[in-house]
Chains A and B, each alone.
Chain A
Amino acid sequence: MILMLIYLLFYLSLARDIINTNNERIMRVNLLTSKVYELEKQIEVDLLSYRFNKNISTLELIEQHTTDIYLALDEMDSYLQSESGREIRLNFITSKERALDTRNDLIDAINSNSDVEINRNYQKWLLKSQNINATLQDLTNYNLNTLRRSSDVYERAISNVYNVALLTMISTLVLVVILFFYLRNIITIPIKRITDVASRISEGHFGDKLDAASSDELGVLAKNLNKMALNLQVNYHRLEREVRQKEDALLKGRELERRKDDFISMASHELKTPVTSIKVFTQILERSSKEKGDIMALKYLVRMGDQIDRLTNIINELLDVSRIQTGRLELNLEPTSLRNLIEETCENIQATVVDHKIKCYGDELDIINIDKYRTGQVLVNLLTNAVKYSPSGGEVEMEYKNRPDDVLVSVRDQGIGIPEEYHDRIFERFYRVYDKNEKTFPGLGMGLYISSEIIKKHGGRIWVESKEGEGSTFYFTLPKNNVG
């Protein structure tokens, strides 16, 4: 289309150039024609004047003017060379040559100074002039025609250009409109539809289907989108189902966990009731055996008592774990002499062991707010652990240090130690370290967990420093700023 327009513009400018050149030539020819007419008149006047006064200078003028006419005709001829008016040109050349002959004759006559000759040749000249004038008239007419024709050509060219330009514009417009509707139907509308469906899919409406009949890229896209929506729907429902199952399982798990805690709590309580009566009965029997001096019965009754105490401990620990799990571990903070508590506990434990020497020492301690019963539980746990995990006996040291903000208590044994990777895990619920040598120690893995929860509940910290085979040192701190 652009090429077409460029061609038209080129064509237009070409036509204009041709027309301009023609016009210039025609105007020049017209000018020369007028000049020839004037020179003819001048020669006539010169000849008349010469016939009266015979002035030689007049003859020179005539010679000059006839030469000028010839030159003008010659120039006109040069313009006619490229023209198509062949007949006119031939006439013109004949006239021109005859004019030259006549002129020469005239000049000769003048030079001969014979009036008769001059007159005869003058007449001849006049005749020739008429001839030239006729030729010139033809030329003028021809030029006028040429002018009209070139003007027609130009107008036609312009009109052609306008027509073509208009046609081009209209066809372009029609093409654009057609293209618009075509693209709208082929691309925009399907894309809009695809976008809408994709957006609906993203909102969870997987049921929307796209018409995927066309085999072009959009058809493929629609087909893939339908496939994707179907897959999404399937996966979504699967995930939803799984999430629901997981939720149910979780709820069930929580419910089970809660029921388990309730069960442990109730079971522990229920267990304690028979244990209480068994313990009372055992002690009654112990006393009566002692009175009777039945050593054998007494020995076994004491052993029974120990086992009842062990059972009681396990029940108590289960109760505590259950309390911690349900967030019901509460502290009864009251002003307590921690030093006395530690010393008493050390004495009590020492009373139950033979192979171990329990050393208890430390700073003077302030009276601080702690739960006496629970703290005692921690001390007993750490001391019995120290004894339990140093099976070959030895020293167990309990040291207490007064520090600015808290009290630091440590329990050091010379036992089997704990590999470093277990140092954090031993404070977890039911976590137990299994000895390399397959030597098992009794217990359920509750003691350190309970102790650590009790210390944390006080706002303190508990940790261990130990190397396998080189004994362990357990530390805990109790803050001084607790309010009772």
Chain B
Amino acid sequence: MKKVLIIDDDLSILEAMKLAVEMHGYQVVTLSNAEDAEARVIQVKPDIVLLDVLLSGIDGRDIAYKIKKDPNTKTIPVIMLSASPQTDRSSRDFGADDFLAKPFELHELFKLIDKYLKV
């Protein structure tokens, strides 16, 4: 089963998304503390990362940049989520593969994940 890593500092969103993505048929690992995000990515080895831009104290775009720079993780697709649609372009500039504005329609989210996981 494909593994999806969701990084968000809001526990309610994490819970909702975990539920939804699992319903859609993927294994989900959640991470609310972004401080050791890169280490967790290496450890978990997800097939895709869903990453929030505005994390408490940390800019999600920096994490995306590091994931895409590290040879061990750079092939993992990263989809950024943000409450601010303005961060779309900058997220892509930092190496993210795609962007989704919060709040979103579930079918849009599933479409994006499916696109990268080639189901």
Contact = CB atoms under 8 A, between A and B. Distances in A.
Interface of A: 268-269, 272-281, 283-284, 287, 308, 312, 316, 319, 323, 328, 330, 332, 373
Interface residues of B, number: 21
Nearest to A371: B89
B16 A281 contact: yes
Nearest to B11: A277
Do most interface residues of chain A lie in helix, strand or loop, or is the interface mixed?
helix
Given A272-B83, A273-B10, A274-B12, A332 B102 contact: no
Given A283-B105, A332-B89, A269 B83 contact: yes
A99 B18 CA distance: 178
A144 to B, nearest CB: 135
A251 B88 CA distance: 35
A284 B54 CA distance: 24
B54 A280 contact: no
Contacts of A273: 10, 12-13, 83, 102
Interface string B1-19: 0000000001011011101
Nearest to B81: A276
Contacts of B75: none
A279 B16 CA distance: 9
A277 B10 contact: yes
Nearest to A275: B103
Task: Please list the 5 inter-chain residue pairs (A to B) with the smallest Cβ-Cβ separation, ordered nearest first.
Answer: A280-B16, A272-B83, A277-B12, A276-B103, A279-B103
Contacts of A323: 86
B62 to A, nearest CB: 19
B20 interface: yes
B13 A277 contact: yes
A269 B54 contact: yes
Contacts of A330: 86
Contacts of B32: none
Contacts of A316: 85
A276 B23 contact: no
A319 B84 CA distance: 8
B13 A280 contact: yes
9 contacts: A273-B102, A276-B13, A276-B102, A278-B103, A280-B19, A284-B19, A319-B84, A332-B88, A373-B88
Given A274-B12, A308-B103, A312-B103, A284 B84 contact: no
Contact of A283 (B20, B85, B102): B20
A319 B86 CA distance: 10
A228 B10 CA distance: 69
Contacts of A281: 16, 19
Contacts of B85: 316, 373
Contacts of A312: 103
B44 interface: no
Interface string B50-90: 00001000000000000000000000000000011110110
Nearest to A374: B85
